[in-house]
């Protein structure tokens, strides 16, 4: 303790580490600018740091909650539940991993689909729950996505998908790989019918999800600084044994390389997507 600290009355002395004395959950720290933020304010700001604009990860349900108009809403495919058809077991049983993930997230699987409206424009919105086994795509995710596409096609309304996923779900082995083919095939039919699909890639979108439904938007959007790619940075590093370029596999890098149409701030998402859809013929004014 320095002489100066000794002078300060013990009441206003702090330990230097903020965490210790702060009640759980009231404050949060921005991972990017390290600013200490009031949790309620961050939530109001859609999990975007009010100081630096860093986009923190946001849960699927909250994402859809804030993206869609309050009414009407109808969840699609929520009756589908995952099964462990292969009796997959690594250090843990897949069945137990599922139970754990379901308990932690209160979701049945990693994709949530809701038919609703954005600024009175009817559409289907899907969002990946990254906290559910890394947002990995297994059979239920694939089937729910296909049902989202089918709902769009049947109702002639646009589809928006927010992806956040580590890729295919290893515990479902080749079944999960085939979900790439299945979801892409559904999108192919949708494209032929001329119904718009906007893909929004959020942090992180990797592997089999990027290499199927995420890259197939008529318009591909991404949130700022999201990690987006096919192979993970560590795998690439191990393969090429070179330092990866600055900002590699981040949204800005992808935009520069021609893979994305634009980068959109989460707080502008509703306006931007409504504006795009309006120009594609899906406007708020009902004819």
Partner 1 sequence: MKLNYLEFEQPIAELEEKIEELRNVGTDNEINISEEITRLEAKSQSLTESIFSSLNPWQVAQLARHPQRPYTLDFIELIFTDFDELHGDRYFGDDPAVVGGTARMEGKPIMVIGHQKGRDTKEKVRRNFGMPRPEGYRKALRLMEMAERFRLPIITFIDTPGAYPGIDAEERGQSEAIARNLMAMARLRTPIICTVIGEGGSGGALAIGVGDRVMMLQYSTYSVISPEGCASILWKSAEKAKEAAAALGITSERLKELGLVDEVIDEPLGGAHRNVDRTAEVLKATLVSALEQLEAMPLEELLAKREEKLMAFGNFTIRTK
Contact footprint for partner 1 (CB under 8 A): 79-83, 85-86, 88-91, 108, 138-140, 142-143, 146, 168, 170, 172-182, 184-189, 191-192, 207-208, 210-216, 229-232, 235-236, 239-240, 242, 244-245, 248-249, 257-259
Residue (123 or 187) nearer to partner 1, CB: 187
* Beta strands per DSSP E along 20-62: 27-29, 36-38
Q: Least Å distance between CB 85 and partner 1?
A: 4
Q: How far is CA 201 from CA 97, 99, 154, 170, 223, in A?
A: 26, 27, 25, 21, 7
Q: Which helix (H) or strand (E) holds 84?
A: none
Residue (124 or 206) nearer to partner 1, CB: 206
Q: Least Å distance between CB 111 and partner 1?
A: 12
Length of the chain: 287
Q: How far is CA 101 from CA 59, 75, 144, 169, 267, in A?
A: 13, 20, 18, 13, 28
Q: Least Å distance between CB 228 and partner 1?
A: 8
Residue (52 or 235) nearer to partner 1, CB: 235
Q: Least Å distance between CB 77 and partner 1?
A: 9
Task: Name the pairing type of β-strands 159-165 and 36-38.
Answer: unpaired
Residue (98 or 118) nearer to partner 1, CB: 98
Residue (177 or 263) nearer to partner 1, CB: 177
CB 124 within 8 Å of CB 160:
yes
Q: Least Å distance between CB 142 and partner 1?
A: 6
Residue (31 or 83) nearer to partner 1, CB: 83
Residue (66 or 102) nearer to partner 1, CB: 102
Q: Least Å distance between CB 153 and partner 1?
A: 13
Q: Least Å distance between CB 50 and partner 1?
A: 32
CA distance 8 to 5: 5
Task: Name the pairing type of β-strands 262-263 and 197-205.
Answer: unpaired
CA distance 65 to 142: 22
Strand partners, 264: none
CA distance 143 to 272: 28
Residue (47 or 196) nearer to partner 1, CB: 196
Preceding omega of 61 cis (within 30 degrees of 0)? no
DSSP-H helix ranges across 226-268? 233-240, 251-256
Based on its alpha-carbon atoms, the radius of gyration of the chain, rounded to whole angstroms, reads 21
Q: Least Å distance between CB 172 and partner 1?
A: 7
């Amino acid at each position: 303790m320095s002489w100066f600290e000794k002078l300060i009355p013990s009441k206003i002395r702090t330990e230097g580490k903020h965490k210790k004395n702060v009640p759980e959950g009231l404050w949060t720290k921005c991972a990017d600018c390290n600013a200490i933020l009031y949790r309620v304010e961050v939530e109001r700001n859609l999990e975007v740091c009010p100081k630096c604009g860093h986009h923190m990860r946001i849960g699927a349900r909250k994402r859809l909650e804030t993206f869609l108009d309050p009414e009407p809403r109808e969840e699609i495919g929520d009756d589908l539940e995952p099964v462990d058809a292969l009796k997959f077991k690594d250090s843990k049983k897949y069945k137990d991993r599922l139970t754990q993930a379901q308990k932690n997230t209160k979701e049945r699987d990693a994709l949530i689909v809701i038919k609703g409206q954005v600024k009175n424009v009817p559409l289907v919105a899907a969002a990946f729950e990254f906290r559910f086994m890394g947002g990995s795509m297994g059979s239920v995710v694939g089937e729910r996505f296909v049902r989202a596409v089918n709902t769009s096609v049947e109702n002639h309304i646009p589809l928006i998908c927010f992806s956040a996923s580590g890729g295919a779900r290893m515990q479902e082995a080749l079944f999960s790989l085939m979900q790439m083919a299945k979801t892409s095939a559904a999108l192919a039919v949708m494209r032929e019918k001329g119904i718009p699909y906007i893909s929004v890639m959020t942090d992180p979108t990797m592997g089999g999800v990027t290499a199927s439904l995420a890259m197939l938007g008529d318009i591909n959007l991404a949130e700022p600084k999201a990690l987006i790619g096919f192979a993970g940075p560590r795998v690439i590093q191990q393969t090429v044994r070179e330092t990866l370029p600055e900002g590699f596999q981040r949204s800005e890098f992808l935009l520069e390389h021609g893979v994305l149409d634009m980068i959109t701030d989460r707080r502008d998402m509703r306006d931007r997507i409504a504006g795009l859809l309006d120009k594609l013929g899906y406007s708020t004014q009902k004819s």
